[in-house]
């Protein structure tokens, strides 16, 4: 069973991925957050730069695109092929209003006729492997069967299903009934995604769906960066590892962000998830949230108790 680190925009940046891989093993690949093809060459090039080997010494991440226009998809594909990419992941899951109201991400699932025509075109026109990351539907998991039938008509290299509908955002429990229908019906290698936060969660999913190709983990691996190792039977996360992770993230982010303020912002975003391991430490959580300098942030992190 392959284990993938989920793409998380603003969080699982190239710097995050590289730092995570330096300290923790176990993820078979990292999916990079979406890039949106743009007419501005400079923006597209900057986005692609974050996928290249010098920023990703742990291995090439999987590239993801957020797009509902076949021509833009084609142009983007031609660009990333020049950098050696042979596979592209299509984002059909982003639930954010700014994205869905433009008919992208999970918003594309609303208009199945347009989505079907788009898929016909991109699979016919591009000689690159295309994987899909989808929700179970836009409004509800009732749409799963129709979506899987649509995906089955194309040579999708991997179908990743985040087991929630778009309108569920990241809330509610994953819709395993809808996922079960995808499991029964999909012709493609299938990847489960949604709320895997422990080795027990993972074991429950693979016991129920033993023929999965892979499992993708997002927020659970932000909370516990050693989760992939734990799932593979390795030792549990230790507080010392979180302290080392914080120090390394500071060291690696500072030259990239160019200043302490933005580095601190990045670290705080990640530590919102890490602090879920310490529900009995509201004072330390507050000190971390309120830290004005990296030194204050790190000294609060260094006070975290043993897990």
Ligand X SMILES: Cc1cc2nc3c(=O)[nH]c(=O)nc-3n(C[C@H](O)[C@H](O)[C@H](O)COP(=O)(O)O)c2cc1C
Question: Which stretches of the chain bind ligand X, using CB under 6 A?
Answer: 6-9, 11, 33-34, 64, 91, 93-94, 133, 162, 170, 193-196, 217-220
Distance CA 272, CA 6 (A): 17
Report the residue number, 158 or 196, with the smaller CB distance to ligand X.
196
Cα torsion angle, 201, 203, 204, 210, sign: positive
Report the residue number, 162 or 266, with the smaller CB distance to ligand X.
162
Q: Whole-number minimum distance, CB 306 to ligand X, in Å?
A: 26
Structure-token pair, residue 189: 């290698």
Report the residue number, 102 or 296, with the smaller CB distance to ligand X.
102
Report the residue number, 172 or 292, with the smaller CB distance to ligand X.
172
Q: Whole-number minimum distance, CB 208 to ligand X, in Å?
A: 17
Structure-token pair, residue 287: 């000190």
- Tell me if residue 92 falls in helix, strand or coil: strand
Give the CB-nearest residue to ligand X: 218
Q: Whole-number minimum distance, CB 43 to ligand X, in Å?
A: 16
List, in order, residues 6 or more apart from 165 with CB less than 8 Å away: 106, 135, 136, 137, 138, 139, 140, 141, 143, 175, 178
Determine contact, residues 38/44, Cβ cutoff 8 Å.
Answer: yes
Q: Whole-number minimum distance, CB 264 to ligand X, in Å?
A: 18
Q: Whole-number minimum distance, CB 186 to ligand X, in Å?
A: 17
Report the residue number, 91 or 186, with the smaller CB distance to ligand X.
91
Apex CA 289: angle with CA 286 and CA 291, to 5°?
100
């Amino acid at each position: 069973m392959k284990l993938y680190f989920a793409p998380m925009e603003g969080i699982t940046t190239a710097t995050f991925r590289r730092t995570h891989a330096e300290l923790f093993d176990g993820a078979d690949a990292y999916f990079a957050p979406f890039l949106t093809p743009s007419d501005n060459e400079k923006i597209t090039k900057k986005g692609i730069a974050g996928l290249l080997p010098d920023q990703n010494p742990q291995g090439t991440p999987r590239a993801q695109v957020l797009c509902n226009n076949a021509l833009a998809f084609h142009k983007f594909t031609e660009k990333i092929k020049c950098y050696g990419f042979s596979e592209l992941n299509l984002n059909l899951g982003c639930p954010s209003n700014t994205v869905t109201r433009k008919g992208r991400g999970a918003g594309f699932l609303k208009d199945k006729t347009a989505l079907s025509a788009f898929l016909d075109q991109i699979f016919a026109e591009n000689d690159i492997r295309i994987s899909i990351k989808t929700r179970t539907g836009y409004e509800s998991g009732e749409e799963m069967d129709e979506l899987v039938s649509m995906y089955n008509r194309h040579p999708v290299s991997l179908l990743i299903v985040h087991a929630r509908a778009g309108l569920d955002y990241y809330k509610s429990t994953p819709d395993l009934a809808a996922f079960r229908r995808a499991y029964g019906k999909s012709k493609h290698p299938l990847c489960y995604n949604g709320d895997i936060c422990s080795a027990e969660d993972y074991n429950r999913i693979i016991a129920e769906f033993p023929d999965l190709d892979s499992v993708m983990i997002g927020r659970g691996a932000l909370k516990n960066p050693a989760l992939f190792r734990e799932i593979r039977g390795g030792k549990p996360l230790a507080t010392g590892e979180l302290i080392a992770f914080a120090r390394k993230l500071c060291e690696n982010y500072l030259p990239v962000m160019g200043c302490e303020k933005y580095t601190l912002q990045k670290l705080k975003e990640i530590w919102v998830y890490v602090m879920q391991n310490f529900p009995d430490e509201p004072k330390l959580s507050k000190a971390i949230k309120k830290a004005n300098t990296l030194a204050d942030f790190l000294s609060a992190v260094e006070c975290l108790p043993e897990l």
